[in-house]
Amino acid sequence: MIGTIINTAAVVAGGIAGLCLKNGIKQKTQDILMQACGVASMFIGASGTLAKMLVIQDGKLETTGTMLLIFSLVLGGALGEFLDIEARMDTIGEKIKKAVKAQNDNLFVEGFVNVSLIICVGAMAIVGSIQDGISGDYSMLAAKAVLDLVIVLIFAATYGIGAVFSAVPILVYQGSITLLAAFFGSFVSEMIISDLSFIGSTLIFCVGVNIAFGKKFKVGNMLPALIVPVLYHVALGMIH
C-alpha cells in the first residue's frame, strides 16, 4: 500500500497548500477556477471514455463497448439510487464537517464529495491500485499523487477545507483495491481493468459537468456502475 500512502499524503499536502492560497484569491477568481476545473474534468473523462470506445477497423472509425456502457450506467444507477449512495456520502461529509467544527462552511460537503469522486474513480486510481497489489509496483500511483496534489490544491482554494478530507476516501478506496488485488490479483484480467477504467472515465465526465454547471448528475449513485464490468467478465468466464 505504499502507493496509496504516497497518494494520500499528496492529497493532504495539496489541500493544505490550497487553503493557504484561498484567502488570497478573490471570489470571482475562485468562480472561474471552479469552472475551469469542471471543464478540465469533463475533457479528461471524455478522452478516457472515447479512447476505449473509438477503434479503427478495416480503415473505418467504429465504436465499441456501447452496450457495456449503457448497461453499466443504467443498472449501476438503479442500484445506486436504491442504496442512495449520494445521500450517504453527503452524510459522511456532514459528520466530518461537524467533527472539525466547520458548520458555517457551505461548500464543505460539496467539496468533499466532488473531489473524492474525481480522484477516486479515475483510471489511474483503479489500474495503479491493482498494480500495487499484484506486483508492488506503485509507480502509477506515485505519478497520480503528483496530479492529485495539483487538483486538490486548486479545489481546496475554491471549495475550502472539505476538499482536503477527500484524503479519507482515497485511502480507503485505493487501499481496499490494493489489498483485494494482492489476494485475488491472479483473477483480474487486462480486459476487466480496461473496462473499469472506461466506465470510471465516464463518471469523471459527469463530475466535471456538476462542477462546471451545478449539480446535474447524482454521480455517487452511479458508482455501482463500476461493478457491472466485473460481473460481465465473470459471467463470460463461466460461459466459456
Cell, residue 100: 472539525
What phi and psi, each to the nearest 5 degrees, are found at residue 45?
Answer: -65, -45
pLDDT score of 187: 63
The C-alpha cell 473509438 sits at 54
- What is the residue type of 114? N
Helix axes 66-83, 85-99, angle to 10 degrees: 60
Distance from C-alpha of 65 to C-alpha of 49, rounded to nearest angstrom: 10
Least confident of 19-28, 202-211, 215-224, 226-235: 19-28
pLDDT score of 237: 75
Helix (H, G, I), strand (E, B) or coil at 217: coil
Q: Which helix (H) or strand (E) holds 129?
A: helix 123-135
Provide mean pLDDT across the span 58-69: 86
With cut-offs at 50, 70 and 90, classify the pLDDT of residue 238.
confident
User: Of 141 and 34, which is predicted with more confidence?
Assistant: 141
The C-alpha cell 469552472 sits at 35
Distance from C-alpha of 68 to C-alpha of 75, rounded to nearest angstrom: 10
Cβ neighbour number for residue 38 with a 10 Å cutoff = 18
pLDDT score of 240: 67
Helix (H, G, I), strand (E, B) or coil at 75: helix
- What is the residue type of 1? M
Q: Which residues 6+ apart lie within 8 Å of 187 measured at CB?
A: none
pLDDT exceeds 70 at position 233: yes
Q: Are 73 and 205 in contact (CB under 8 A)?
A: no
pLDDT exceeds 80 at position 153: yes
Provide mean pLDDT across the span 110-116: 86
pLDDT score of 151: 83
pLDDT score of 24: 67
With cut-offs at 50, 70 and 90, classify the pLDDT of residue 96.
confident
With cut-offs at 50, 70 and 90, classify the pLDDT of residue 70.
very high
Q: Are 64 and 231 in contact (CB under 8 A)?
A: no
Provide mean pLDDT across the span 17-27: 79
Give percent of the chain with pLDDT exceeding 90.
Answer: 14
Determine if the pTM surpasses 0.85: no
